[in-house]
Amino acid sequence: MADAFVDRSLDEIRFWSRIMKEHSLFLKLGFHCDDTKLIDEANRFYTIFEDIENQALSLSPDVDPQRIFDFNNTVHNAVCHIWKFKRKVLDLIIRCRIGGNNFPLLVDHVSREAAYFMKRLEQLNTGTLDPLPDAIINENVFFLRIMADHAKFINHLLDPSERKLVEQAREFSHDFDQLLFQAIDLNSMRPQSQTLPLLDQFVDQNRVSVRQLRDFKKTARDLIEACRIKSIIPPLLADHVFREASHFLEILDSFELALSSSK
C-alpha cells in the first residue's frame, strides 16, 4: 500500500504541478500591462510550481512514504494559495476592477482545477479515496465540465474565419454539455444509479467522446504549432488542453479496466 500511495502521489503532483505552473503563465499573459502586482504574483506562483514539479520528477518510487506524506502537505499549501489568488482575480474581473484578456469562466475554470488538486492531495494523505462507483461519477462530473469549457475557449480563440474548426469546437461544446447534464443526472440518482451495467455504459460512452475531443485537440495543437491556422491560441495552451484530455482518457481507461475485472 505504501508503494501505491507513493506512486499515486507522485503521478498526481507531476501532472497537476505542471498544470498549475502553466495556469500562472496564462493568467499573467491575460493581465493588463499596468497590473504589475498581479503579474508579479503570477510569476511567483510559476516559480513555486516549477520547483514543485522538478522536486516531484526527481523523486523515485522507492522514496520513504513519510517524505511523500510531508511533500503532499507542502504542495497542498501551495495549491491552496494559488486557488485563493485565482478567486481574487475572478472577483477583480467580475467587479470590473481590472481589464485584460482573461475570461471570467477561464479564471473560474483554473480555480476549479486547483480545488480538485487540493482535494486529491487530502484524499491521498488521509487514505480516503472514493470507492470505484463514487469515483466514476465524481471524476466524470468534474472532467466533463472541464472538457466542455475547453471547447468553448477554443471556439472563442480561433479566428472567426476558421469556420470549420469553429463549428467543430461549437459542436464539442454542445456534446460535452449534454454529457455533463447526463452525469449530473446519474449523480443525483445515487446510489440506485451505481449498478455495473449503468456505470459500464456511462464510462464507455464518455470514453468515445473524450477520445474524439482529444484527437481534435491534437490536430488543432499540431496545426497551431505549424502556423497553419489562424487563432490567438498560444501553442502551449493548445498542448495544455490536449494533455488534460489525455489525462481524463487515462482515468476513463482505468475505470473501464476496473469495471471489467468486476464482471
Could you tell me where the beta strands, DSSP code E, fall in the chain?
Answer: none
Q: Is there a contact between 41 and 32 (Cβ–Cβ < 8 Å)?
A: no
Give tens-digit pLDDT for 56-97: 999 999 999 999 999 999 999 999 999 999 999 999 999 999
pTM: 0.97
pLDDT at 3: 87
Q: How many CB atoms lie within 10 A of CB 88?
A: 14
Instruction: Provide the b/e sequence for 143-161 (b: ≥16 CB within 10 Å).
Output: bbbbbbbbbbbbbbbbeee
Q: Is there a contact between 148 and 176 (Cβ–Cβ < 8 Å)?
A: yes
Which regions in the chain score pLDDT beneath 50? 1
- What are the grid coordinates assigned to 47, written together? 516559480
Backbone angles phi, psi at 130, to 5 degrees: -60, 140
pLDDT at 2: 58
Task: Compute the chain's Rg from CA coordinates.
Answer: 19
